[in-house]
Structure 1
Amino acid sequence: MTTSSSKRQWGFRTNLLREDGEHADRVSFLELFFDLVFVFAVTELAHTLVYAIDKGQALEGILQTTVLLLAVWWVWVYTAWSTNWLDPDKTPVRWMLLILMLFGLLMSTSIPEAFGDRALVFVTAYVVMQIARSLFTALGLGRFTPETGLNVFRLTIWFAVSAIFWFAGALVDDLTLRLGLWGVAITIEYLGPVSGYRVPFLGRMVTSRLAIRGGHIAERAGLFMIIAIGESILVTGSAFAEHPIEPAGTLAFLSSLIGSIALWLLYFSRAESGGSRFIRRHDNPSQVAANSYTYLHVVLVAGIVLVAVADELVLAHPESPVSFTGLALIYGAPAVYLLGNLLFKRSIGAPWLRSHLLGIVTLMVFVLGATVVVPGLSFVVHSCVSTIVLIGVVIGEELDFRRNRTLQLAASGT
């Protein structure tokens, strides 16, 4: 893959790329170690939203947490893309990840006060991670895969432009204006892949020529899902430990735990392995990875964070009559997860799953009708109903796949 053209000799002389071979797609232990920072980040996002809801600032908290979640996800997913090309077992790449962990911890610890006194710390850590990692990756690729290196360099320029709005937001005192400026910054970054990271004089990237190791990116996304679902269980366990053991609280704990198991089954029973196979067979694997594992997975992660928030509220007030905010979270959070799961599975070749569509509709009906038809029910009752719906979707999905498999076998005459 090395070019002989002297005009294209740029970047590091040392070959930092992953080598081809039996274990080329393997996720390294260092990558797993790096992900520990994001366990803390996702936990802080959930706690921050719970705190905002307790203060009666649900809408403001949701908007702020959404921007922060999109930033956390973006820095993680682009690091995953970097290690899809660069070998984490090579010393320079290893040091890059360790330094990113340091800044990632600064970013994560600043999340509760990102719209307070630690805005500048949050932004500085985030921007340094995005620009420094992208520039390092571009230099690591430039000499050996010039076209991919140039693509990542385009990405670096886009991060530099969005940094203007990140810092501008951090330096203003008005929280609404800060939210708006940060919203502009994250919108620029999320529009980057859609526009092909077009840059004056450099043009745009061609995704069909972008090398991708499908097995690695699928496994990395799957591991992040485990982290996010694990965070939900941690929040549930911590909240349960802080309250006396009583029937309503215990029922709320069991409902939350079973719900987390259902989330795990909905992702890992079918989608995780299917994504890797679909990428390997597709004519444009990088486009599939960009759609399925870059954009759609953030909906899944958002659903998990919201489920964790709902579980914490249920455990804190199991026997209290549910508010509309609580109702929207208890039923809306799993609906967001099911939507992300449905779109992800569709993007990797699955049909439109009736189980997921029916589950989303059922959850939305409960949000709109529960307070009218059965007003006054407690948090824990609604939590149990939501969990039952998720269990029904898990069973329905299995029946969907078996039915589709039977039809495929009948059509092929076997």
Structure 2
Amino acid sequence: MAGDLLRTRDGGHARVGFVELFFDLIFVFAITQISHALLAHLSWIGALQGFMLLGAVWWAWIDTSWITNWLDPERAPVRALLFLLMAAGLVMSTSLPEAFGEKGLIFACAFASLQVGRGLFTLWAVRRHDVLRPNFQRICIWAGVGAALWITGGLMEGQARLIIWLIAVAFEFAGPACYFWVPGLGRSHTEDWEVEGAHMAERVGLFIIICLGESVLVTGATFAGLDWTAPVVGAFAAAFAGTLAMWWIWFSKAHDAASDVISHANDTGRVARRAYTYAPILVVAGIVVTAVGDEMSLSHPGGAIDFAMAAVLIGGPMLFLVGAQVFKLAAFGIWSPSRLGGIAALGALSLAVPVLTPVGLAACATAVLIGVGAWETVATHRMPAEEARTPE
């Protein structure tokens, strides 16, 4: 029966299953593909295309995470769905570098089949659920319209594809924000999107780990193929320390407290939509751009810094901190002095670009991230015990 596919809500923490972790492996490859595509086309158009592709990858992943929050991945039909989504995701990932070239239609069809297929399966699975069924009727309609936009763009070329896919990405982002409103069917309500909060927080945390792991892979692979001169070793150390600092900042007390917030919220759907569906995309983008900057500083640690290199070496960490601040604001309604201070410091660092080498700029940006992490750790330790669950 369809009802048998739903998770059992017994008040405990629904741990992330091995099949969910297996599904996530596809996205390690996808994030790597986006990094390489951005590095190969480091321009304003390349950055826009990279953001659009990252947006598609993010929605393919986060929408699936919502589904496995409701459906039990230990059930055979749900597990089969995840395997099919993995196959579509693998096709999508392999076509990413040529998505704006010869493989645009392949990319569009893979993404569309993933979104529509997942929605239709879930609609079938909840067909006897009075609350979730109308919700997924609306979601399937939105997925169908989105699929038509992606496939139409895939059939186009050049600027036409870029414009249509830009509309398609905006449409994906608009869905939850508009509560999947459909004429005649009305809109959904966040109270209908009851989620298991700790599971959602853990899933997003694991995706951040995927992105950080991709950064380590890029750094290690690039470093292994270079002569280990002092500047190259310095760039490697800065890149690795920067990745550790981003992990430190994200998985601070604020992450644990945010998991607590969503777990005990009266409207878990509202918190999940705001803090775990929208806010992390900037963090992910920051990690991807930082990985590109790390590869550039490793390959060219000395000499002058051009605009593109400065943009990624400063912009990557800045995007990460902006996303971390947006997440904190979405989860707690708090402006973080440490994260705002880090953003300001990175902005000021742009003034020093003319007198720095790439490895020097990378080291300075990493120092800012480490400073933010240290600031938050010290601030947390100074709080009274009764306030320990609230971030600084």
User: What interval of TM-score do these two structures reach, taking the shorter chain for normalisation?
Assistant: over 0.9
Counterpart contact for 1:322–1:376, Cα < 8 Å:
no
Q: Which amino acid aligns with 2:84?
A: I
Is 1:258 matched with 2:241?
A: yes
Q: Deviation at 1:405?
A: 4.1
Deviations 1:339-362 (A, max 9, x none): 111111222226321111111011
Is 1:71 matched with 2:56?
A: yes
Is 1:17 matched with 2:1?
A: no
Match of 2:30 among 27, 33, 41: 41
Provide the rounded CA distance (Å) in 2 between the counterparts of 1:28 and 1:194.
28
Q: Deviation at 1:370?
A: 2.1
Counterpart contact for 2:211–2:288, Cα < 8 Å:
yes
Q: Deviation at 1:73?
A: 0.1
Deviations 1:220-251 (A, max 9, x none): 00111111101011011011111111110011
Is 1:185 matched with 2:168?
A: yes
Alignment of 1:355-394 (within 5 A): 355-367=338-350, 369-371=351-353, 375-394=354-373
Is 1:400 matched with 2:379?
A: yes
User: Secondary structure of the equivalent of 1:146?
Assistant: coil
Shift of the 85–335 alpha-carbon distance from structure 1 to 2, 3 Å rule, reads same
Provide the rounded CA distance (Å) in 1 between the counterparts of 2:260 and 2:386.
21
Larger Rg: 1
Counterpart contact for 2:274–2:331, Cα < 8 Å:
no
The match for 2:299 is 316
Match of 1:165 among 127, 142, 149: 149
Deviation >6 Å, runs of 4+: none
Alignment of 1:189-268 (within 5 A): 189-268=172-251
Q: Given the two structures, how large is their TM-score scaled by the length of structure 1?
A: 0.91
Is 1:112 matched with 2:97?
A: yes
Q: Given the two structures, how large is their TM-score scaled by the length of structure 2?
A: 0.95
Counterpart contact for 2:293–2:309, Cα < 8 Å:
yes
Match of 1:150 among 123, 130, 134: 134
Q: Deviation at 1:200?
A: 1.6
Counterpart contact for 1:353–1:400, Cα < 8 Å:
no
Counterpart contact for 1:292–1:344, Cα < 8 Å:
yes
Provide the rounded CA distance (Å) in 2 between the counterparts of 1:392 and 1:215.
29
User: Secondary structure of the equivalent of 1:226?
Assistant: helix
Counterpart contact for 1:267–1:341, Cα < 8 Å:
yes
Provide the rounded CA distance (Å) in 1 between the counterparts of 2:299 and 2:116.
41
Match of 2:126 among 137, 141, 146: 141
Provide the rounded CA distance (Å) in 2 between the counterparts of 1:245 and 1:163.
48
Counterpart contact for 1:165–1:181, Cα < 8 Å:
yes
Provide the rounded CA distance (Å) in 2 between the counterparts of 1:24 and 1:399.
30
Provide the rounded CA distance (Å) in 2 between the counterparts of 1:49 and 1:277.
36
User: Secondary structure of the equivalent of 2:279?
Assistant: helix
User: Secondary structure of the equivalent of 1:204?
Assistant: coil
Identity of aligned residues (%): 40
Calculate the aligned-residue CA RMSD, in Å.
Answer: 1.6
Deviations 1:33-75 (A, max 9, x none): 000000000000000000112xxxx111100000000000001
Provide the rounded CA distance (Å) in 2 between the counterparts of 1:280 and 1:38.
26
Provide the rounded CA distance (Å) in 2 between the counterparts of 1:24 and 1:261.
28
Counterpart contact for 2:34–2:54, Cα < 8 Å:
yes
User: Secondary structure of the equivalent of 1:110?
Assistant: helix
Q: Which amino acid aligns with 2:142?
A: W
Q: Deviation at 1:280?
A: 1.9
Counterpart contact for 2:91–2:110, Cα < 8 Å:
yes
Counterpart contact for 2:179–2:188, Cα < 8 Å:
yes
Shift of the 329–202 alpha-carbon distance from structure 1 to 2, 3 Å rule, reads same
Provide the rounded CA distance (Å) in 2 between the counterparts of 1:149 and 1:302.
33
The match for 2:71 is 86
Provide the rounded CA distance (Å) in 1 between the counterparts of 2:300 and 2:2.
60
Match of 1:348 among 310, 331, 346: 331
Counterpart contact for 2:3–2:126, Cα < 8 Å:
no
Q: Deviation at 1:172?
A: 1.2
Q: Which amino acid aligns with 1:399?
A: V
Provide the rounded CA distance (Å) in 1 between the counterparts of 2:267 and 2:194.
10
The match for 1:412 is none
Counterpart contact for 2:30–2:96, Cα < 8 Å:
yes
Provide the rounded CA distance (Å) in 2 between the counterparts of 1:22 and 1:408.
25
Q: Which amino acid aligns with 2:214?
A: E
